[in-house]
Amino acid sequence: MTRREFLATAAAPAVHAAPARPNVILVITDDQGWWDVGIHGNPHIETPTMDRIAREGVRFERFYCSPVCTPTRAALMTGRHYQRTGAIDTYRGRDVMSAEEITLGQVFRSQGYRTACIGKWHLGRYMKYHPNERGFEEFFGFWQYGFINRYDDSDELWHNKQRVVTTGYITDVLTDQALAWLEQNRSQPFFLYLAYNAPHSPYLVPDPYIARYLKKGLPLQEARIYGMVTKVDENLGRLLAALERWKLAENTVVIFMSDNGGVSRYYSCGLRGNKGSVYEGGVRVPFFVRWPGQFPAGRVVATPAQHIDIFPTLCELIGAPLPKDRKLDGRSVLGLIRQGEGPPPRTHFFHQWNRVRPLLDPADPAQAPPDERKAFRPNWAVYEVRGYKLHATGELFDLSRDPGEQHDIAREHPEVVRELRRRFEEFFQDVTAGQSYGRVPIEVGREDENPVELDLAWGECVGKKVRAVYRHYNRDTIEDWSEPSDALRWKIEVVRAGRYEVVLEYGCPPGEAGSRYEIRAGRSRLEAVVQPTAGRLVFQPFVAGTLTLERGPAVFEIQPQAIRARELMTLHKVWVRWLA
């Protein structure tokens, strides 16, 4: 089935669904390590519900994800290695899954399921990539960025395509919404993607949860992280209790997992590395699957599997056809889950992640701005299921004897190093073929996104000194704009021709106001003068003027014309509004 056929069936779902097909709840946490559950031997953390799901279901000893969240979520949604999808990083406009991908939401929708995404999306911050556009009828959570700044009484959440304000702690709020949606849709087959943002930074949780772990002797930050995990665990208990109350437990598959290696460091089960690393601690995550009466309770699967396998597994579970017009990297492990043992879905598992673009070998750091140069060191590994694992560093480990990756045996086995290097090169060339990994255009003029913000992280700083300062996504600024030749550029796609108002939000001390700048897009341009604000980091919005834009691709650019004092401004936000 092609993507077009998927979308056509999703638009007109079947009225009656086969009763034998189960409901599916896919729960994913954010930055919870393999070691951050009690059942894996952590004697400090309290996760009775997660442990219960593992005991009542199937638990994988070696389940792998990508080193960071956006790549994992893209692979999870598509069954394809993330390098194929465009979603290669976590910010700067490189956290966008191509609109041409087919998602789990679209698959379930095409099969007559009600679909909801509750929590974190992080696969594209513009409406073109919104969960409602990707097969999910219902969305509640945050989708534009990788985390939120306010965990209590948040004003950074959305219901479908409208921003909302909530009261309460974020994990409770997300669970409340999930339960409300389930209650409304429990008489029909449903697919719920429940993506908690804990225990991602900022490490915030109510004080009693912190105190619980401080009493155990954990340092403050570790106590916060463990408290966040325990808070999620309690909410999972609420979820399971609701399924039992509604008599849905016997017909609902519950999957629990995390998106990458852990950020906690107090206890690591002997694994090396954390989030962002391709050592086991950065890519190995908890993975539990429960379906009472159908999947063997308490079975521990030693066979490795991976995030790309979830898509085909769920397709087989509900009888959905696999897409025929693209390469799927995942393989169904439904038989492995049902039997609790069996052959692995592949002989080699590949891990890779870099900022900016995927790398096989070191690149010249002079090609990148100073804050991106560390991204030009390769970060990859290949694991062969007999036990050997090779890193980009040249280190070779035998995981069957050395799961903590402490003893480099590369010198003793040069032939293994060569063979695994060859395997990774083949994989890398395959998954990156035809990809440019350039900046993605921002659609301007959409009816459901007017005005549109030109995210500073999606822009490109061009020149000698101007630079982006990243302050937790929506706090970002452009600073050191002190050279007239320095510019800030975005790729845009004008979807509706017409006249557009441009608004800049910036800070400028009163004594430094008066600089002039020009804004250009296509054949249109305007000039404006910088106005004073209460201070350099005190931001106010100002209308810069209007542009007349033609439909199609263009470059939107801001450049100084005359800088009166130390710098042009401290830029905080840019909006473009279609007028007529």
* Lookup result for tokens 């994989």: 427
pLDDT tens readout for residues 521-548? 999 999 999 999 999 999 999 999 999 9
Selection from 250, 243, 247 nearest residue 192 by Cα: 243
* Same-domain check for residues 371 and 459: no
In a domain, 111, yes or no: yes
Q: Is 127 helix (H, G, I), strand (E, B) or coil?
A: helix
Q: Is 341 helix (H, G, I), strand (E, B) or coil?
A: coil
* Same-domain check for residues 272 and 396: no
CA-to-CA dists, residue 331 to 3, 345, 348, 368, 404, angstroms: 19, 6, 13, 37, 27
In a domain, 292, yes or no: yes
Task: Please state whether beta strands 524-529 and 516-521 pair in parallel, antiparallel, or not at all (unpaired).
Answer: antiparallel
Question: pTM, whole model, 2 decimals?
Answer: 0.94
* Same-domain check for residues 388 and 533: no
In a domain, 320, yes or no: yes
Assess whether pLDDT exceeds 80 at residue 366: no
* Same-domain check for residues 231 and 379: no
Domain boundary among 395, 412, 432: 432
Lateral strand order in the sheet of 388-391: 348-352, 380-384, 388-391, 396-398
pLDDT tens readout for residues 127-158? 999 999 999 999 999 998 888 989 999 999 99
Alpha-carbon span 562 to 580, nearest angstrom: 31
* Same-domain check for residues 257 and 340: yes
* Same-domain check for residues 446 and 557: yes
* Same-domain check for residues 413 and 333: no
In a domain, 20, yes or no: no
* Same-domain check for residues 422 and 478: no
In a domain, 211, yes or no: yes
* Same-domain check for residues 286 and 376: no
Q: Do 230 and 46 form a contact (C-beta atoms < 8 A)?
A: yes
Domain boundary among 294, 311, 346: 346
Domain that holds residue 413: 366-432
* Same-domain check for residues 411 and 530: no
Alpha helices in 48-169 (DSSP H): 48-56, 69-78, 104-110
In a domain, 21, yes or no: no
Q: At what angle do helices 220-245 and 207-214 cross, to 10 degrees?
A: 120
Number of structural domains in the chain: 3
* Same-domain check for residues 446 and 328: no
Position 19 scores a pLDDT of 44
Name the band, by pLDDT with cuts 50, 70 and 90, for residue 470.
confident
Q: What is the per-residue DSSP string for 532-560?
A: P-SBTTB-EEEEEEEEEE-SEEEEEEEEE
pLDDT tens readout for residues 210-263? 999 999 999 999 999 999 999 999 999 999 999 999 999 999 999 999 999 999
- CATH number, domain with residue 548: 2.60.120.260
- CATH number, domain with residue 384: 3.30.1120.10
Residue count of the chain:
580
> What is the DSSP code (8-state) at residue 427?
H
Q: Do 524 and 569 form a contact (C-beta atoms < 8 A)?
A: no
In a domain, 352, yes or no: no
As a whole number, mean pLDDT of residues 370-399 equals: 88
Two tokens, residue 539:
């931001």
- CATH number, domain with residue 193: 3.40.720.10
Domain boundary among 432, 458, 474: 432
> What is the DSSP code (8-state) at residue 311?
H
* Same-domain check for residues 258 and 281: yes
Two tokens, residue 307:
């995030």
Mean pLDDT check: name the lowest of 19-28, 219-228, 298-307, 316-325.
Answer: 19-28
In a domain, 333, yes or no: yes
Name the band, by pLDDT with cuts 50, 70 and 90, for residue 109.
very high
